[in-house]
Amino acid sequence: MKIMILNGPNLDMLGVRQPEIYGNKDYDDLCFEIDEWAGDMGIMADVRQSNYEGELVEFIHEAYEDNFDGVIINPAAYTHYSYAIRDALLILNVPVVEVHLTDISQRDEFRRHSVISDICAKTIKGKGFEGYKEALEFFFDLL
Ligand code: DQA
């Protein structure tokens, strides 16, 4: 099973970016933990990050064209307004799991709405890095 894991803008700055909110661990730590979890579950995880909406859209197209079995996405700020990412996810005929490190329902008003939640099989929020593990487990349980 191969799963594409997509991370949106500013997630490459984890560890530096608002550590009081996102913690001290950096993006490499996140990638390392995802690789470990995926390895243990026998899942091939292709982890990518972009600060550009169009590049994220193209990654989603690639997930379609290369027959990925699912997508885990943390679109970061794009969560709240990117209809382009929503439309791209609608191309897929495999499950999509939405992940947020923080609980977006408990933060600023503008973060409370996700334009992709209703088209995702599951939304995981507020669990930090562990949220990605839970998302991988969703796919593991499908195996
Ligand atoms: C985030 C929450 C978003 O509101 C924010 O813009 C992010 C990260 C999260 O993982 O908690 O960049 O998606």
Q: What percent of the chain has pLDDT over 90?
A: 99
Q: Answer whether 7 contacts ligand 1 (Cβ < 6 A).
A: no
Q: By the 8 A CB rule, do 2 and 43 touch?
A: yes
pLDDT digits (tens, 9 = 90+) for 16-71: 999 999 999 999 999 999 999 999 999 999 999 999 999 999 999 999 999 999 99
Contacts of 9 (CB under 8 A, 6+ apart): 50, 51, 52, 76, 77, 78
Beta bridge partners of 124: 99
pLDDT digits (tens, 9 = 90+) for 69-80: 999 999 999 999
Name the residue of 14, 56, 111, 116 to mutate for ligand 1: max ligand atoms within 8 A of Cβ. 111
Q: 80 an active-site residue?
A: no
Structural domains in the chain plus CATH codes: 2-142 (3.40.50.9100)
Q: 27 an active-site residue?
A: no
Q: How far is CA 111 from the centre of its chain?
A: 16
